[in-house]
């Protein structure tokens, strides 16, 4: 994509190009969000359509008048048709925007549909001295004829044009970001989870603003203001920044971004790691060069499918038949390897003498394949049990192990059991892949790392088994990935601290929620 100097934006440079979105149902809540946002950016959008009570609206605007210093407020009163909450129609929302302008808002965001429905010049007359963003929102799709849409928007002579559209793929995200080539005064917003990486990269591609909520999300795929500035550092990214990420489905709960970005920050590496929701592997691979992707982690369901798209593969990963790490080399060629292998060994070998031990793998997917080959090479006797018995037999045969039907688990003992399935993963943390009578072993390891203490691990602890959380494997394989991509020693302490802090925080929140539900 074409490079642009970040300082050229009409909204200034640096963190001020991250627009904090303030949205709540009361003036008090919105004021509190404004105060929080002012510590991170000087550009703040007020979603006035969230204040459906006129008294609350007037109260907030009075407060804004006294707190407008050093802040660029953008007033927005989005209608239902534009994805907002305002019931006003036929341009009546301009009255609210006019009041906001009188209270000190320097900008107003007005929907394209409002411009279409009113005589030319009316919008400028009502909002007075405020500068105008003309916005088009499409929550269903990315418009096919984006150039025509842009020509129409520019014909109304607004100061900035904003296009927000549902990006159903990485390719559609790239199409939206390309709009910023036309003018420095364009805001491109790919909505949806698939569009989230492009939201983070939008500023470096030339988008005048990137939006991030202070509290509750107001559109699909948004990243919180704190994460946008401190985790992804969207305002600091340039075309020289190396882009990495995780591809798969699901990816929204991945702690990969936290792990790898913590490492980049600690070592001052000019790189960012993003979660790419990918259903269509070919679509991602075609779009990746446009986004400057230099490497990526591979998770469910692509660990085996990625093999046929690689130009070169580590021999061990080829033998395993699954890849979880890809390097994009300077010539664009893809090199694959597998660090899950390292993660399994590091997590188990400090607790168990693997040579001669008997280990059950529950599941037969890509992660199971890495574990099977790692354990077999370490001298363990590997048994495989999976819902799809054919796949279990295939994996057992490849790793020189045995396949077991599930009914056999009740009567057999193992030195260790490793769950390689996603059963029990957040947000479905209440499930366990195995029943208590099927857990007959000394050690239970769950590859799931979120939550840290899965139902399976809790069950294992109750039976007196040693419980090994999946975060240990996750960290080990992640450190190896980080070092492959950067060719530097991973700052393990900083990366581990960031991940464990998040997991412990999640656990605290879950406990508090449980107490509230069970309280009087």
Q: Residues near 56 by Cβ (< 8 Å), separated by ≥ 6?
A: 25, 26, 27
Peptide bond into 311 cis (omega under 30): no
Helices and strands in the chain: count of H runs, count of E runs: 18, 20
Residues assigned a catalytic role? 137, 162, 303, 340
Residues in the chain: 520
Question: What stretches of 449-491 show up as alpha helix (H) in DSSP?
Answer: 455-462, 470-486
| Cα torsion through 488, 248, 459, 342, rounded to 10 | -30
Q: Report the C-alpha gap between 75 and 86 in whole angstroms.
A: 13
Angle at which helix 93-102 crosses helix 54-66, to 10 degrees, equals: 30
Q: Report the C-alpha gap between 338 and 12 in whole angstroms.
A: 44
DSSP secondary structure, 100-148, as one string: HHHTT--EEEEEHHHHHHS-TTHHHHHHTTSEEEEEEEESS---S-HHH
Beta bridge partners of 187: 162
Give Cα 233 to chain centroid, integer Å: 14
Q: Report the C-alpha gap between 273 and 479 in whole angstroms.
A: 14
Beta bridge partners of 313: 336
Residue with tokens 């709009």: 179
φ and ψ of 289, to 5 deg: -60, -35
| Cα torsion through 430, 434, 435, 439, rounded to 10 | -130
Beta bridge partners of 247: 276, 298
φ and ψ of 257, to 5 deg: -60, -40
| Cα torsion through 89, 95, 96, 98, rounded to 10 | 140
Q: Report the C-alpha gap between 216 and 212 in whole angstroms.
A: 10
Instruction: Compute and round to an integer the Cα radius of gyration of the chain.
Output: 26
């Amino acid at each position: 994509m074409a490079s642009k100097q970040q300082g050229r934006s009409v909204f200034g440079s640096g963190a001020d190009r991250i627009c904090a979105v303030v949205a709540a149902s009361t003036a008090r809540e919105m004021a509190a969000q404004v105060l929080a946002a002012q510590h991170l950016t000087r550009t703040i959008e007020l979603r006035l359509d969230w204040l459906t009570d006129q008294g609350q609206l007037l109260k907030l605007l009075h407060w804004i008048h006294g707190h407008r210093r050093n802040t660029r407020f953008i007033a927005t009163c989005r209608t239902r048709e534009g994805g907002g909450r305002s019931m006003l129609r036929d341009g009546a929302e301009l009255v609210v925007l006019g009041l906001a302008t009188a209270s000190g808002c320097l900008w107003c965001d007005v929907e394209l549909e409002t411009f279409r429905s009113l005589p030319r010049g009316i919008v400028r007359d009502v909002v007075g001295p405020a500068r105008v963003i003309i916005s088009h929102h499409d929550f269903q799709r990315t418009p096919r004829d984006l150039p025509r849409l842009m020509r129409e928007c520019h014909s109304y002579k607004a100061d900035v044009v904003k296009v927000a559209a549902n990006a159903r793929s990485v390719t559609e995200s790239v199409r939206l970001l390309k709009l910023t080539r036309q003018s420095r005064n364009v805001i491109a917003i790919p909505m949806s989870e698939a569009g989230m990486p492009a939201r983070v990269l939008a500023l470096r591609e030339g988008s005048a603003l990137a939006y991030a909520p202070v509290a509750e999300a107001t559109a699909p795929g948004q990243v919180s203001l704190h994460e946008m500035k401190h985790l992804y550092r969207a305002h600091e990214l340039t075309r020289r920044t190396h882009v990495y990420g995780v591809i798969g489905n699901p990816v929204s709960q991945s702690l990969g971004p936290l792990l790898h970005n913590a490492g980049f920050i600690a070592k001052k590496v000019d790189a960012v790691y993003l979660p790419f929701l990918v259903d269509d592997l070919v679509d991602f691979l075609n779009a990746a060069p446009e986004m400057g992707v230099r490497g990526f982690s591979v998770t469910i369901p692509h660990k085996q499918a990625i093999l046929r798209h690689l130009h070169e593969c580590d021999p061990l990963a080829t033998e395993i038949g699954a890849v979880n790490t890809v390097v994009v080399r300077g010539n664009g060629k893809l090199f694959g390897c597998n660090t899950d292998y390292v993660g399994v060994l590091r997590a188990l070998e400090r607790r168990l003498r693997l040579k001669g031990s008997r280990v059950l793998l529950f599941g037969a997917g890509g992660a199971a394949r890495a574990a099977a080959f790692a354990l077999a090479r370490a001298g363990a006797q590997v048994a495989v049990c999976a819902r799809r018995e054919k796949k279990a037999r295939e994996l057992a045969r490849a790793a020189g192990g045995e396949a077991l039907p599930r009914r056999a688990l009740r009567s057999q003992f193992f030195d260790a059991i490793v769950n390689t399935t996603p059963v029990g993963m957040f947000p479905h943390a209440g499930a366990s892949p195995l029943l208590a009578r099927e857990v007959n072993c000394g050690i239970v390891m769950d590859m799931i790392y979120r939550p840290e203490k899965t139902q399976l691990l809790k069950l294992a602890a109750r039976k007196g088994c040693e419980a090994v959380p999946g975060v240990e494997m996750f960290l080990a394989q992640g450190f190896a990935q980080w070092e492959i991509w950067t060719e530097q020693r991973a700052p393990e302490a900083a990366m581990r601290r960031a991940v464990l802090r998040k997991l412990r925080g999640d656990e605290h929140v879950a406990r508090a929620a449980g107490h509230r539900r069970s309280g009087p």
